[in-house]
């Protein structure tokens, strides 16, 4: 009778283990499927980003370059109007050139 009880217990544990393995396999498949869906969505978003946003980014970059260049031109014009500013500008540029050559 004790042997039968132990055999039933072992059989129950094996059944439970098999059920757990099946459950684990199902969950792994669900996770893999969900990851594949998320990867597909990310790929689609990347394509959308390239097609729709990239031209706007180029426009923004070009606009900033224009603003910086325009600002430098205005600053240079102001420096040329003032002798003190012109000398300070010349000193800074000369120091930069000297530092770059050393």
Better-predicted residue by pLDDT, 4 or 78: 4
Residue 51 pLDDT exceeds 80: no
Overall average pLDDT of the 49-75 stretch? 79
Q: How far apart are CA 59 and CA 50, in angstroms?
A: 14
Residue 21 pLDDT exceeds 90: yes
Residue 36's pLDDT is what?
93
Q: pLDDT class for 34, splitting at 50, 70, 90?
A: very high
Residue 25's pLDDT is what?
94
Question: What rounded mean pLDDT belongs to the chain?
Answer: 83
% the chain with pLDDT above 70: 96
What single-letter DSSP state applies at residue 102?
Answer: -
Q: pLDDT class for 79, splitting at 50, 70, 90?
A: low
Better-predicted residue by pLDDT, 49 or 36: 36
Strand, helix or coil at 88? helix
CB of 27 within 8 A of CB of 35?
no
> Which residue, 77, 78, 81, 76, is CA-closest to 93?
76
């Amino acid at each position: 009778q004790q042997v039968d009880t132990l055999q039933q217990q072992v059989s129950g544990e094996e059944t439970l283990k098999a059920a757990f393995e099946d459950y684990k396999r199902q969950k792994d498949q669900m996770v893999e499927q969900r990851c594949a869906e998320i990867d597909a969505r990310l790929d689609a978003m990347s394509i959308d980003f390239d097609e729709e946003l990239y031209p706007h980014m180029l426009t923004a970059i070009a606009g900033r370059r224009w603003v910086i260049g325009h600002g430098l031109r205005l600053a240079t014009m102001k420096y040329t109007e003032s002798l003190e500013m012109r000398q300070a500008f010349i000193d800074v540029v000369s120091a930069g050139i000297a530092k770059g050559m050393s």
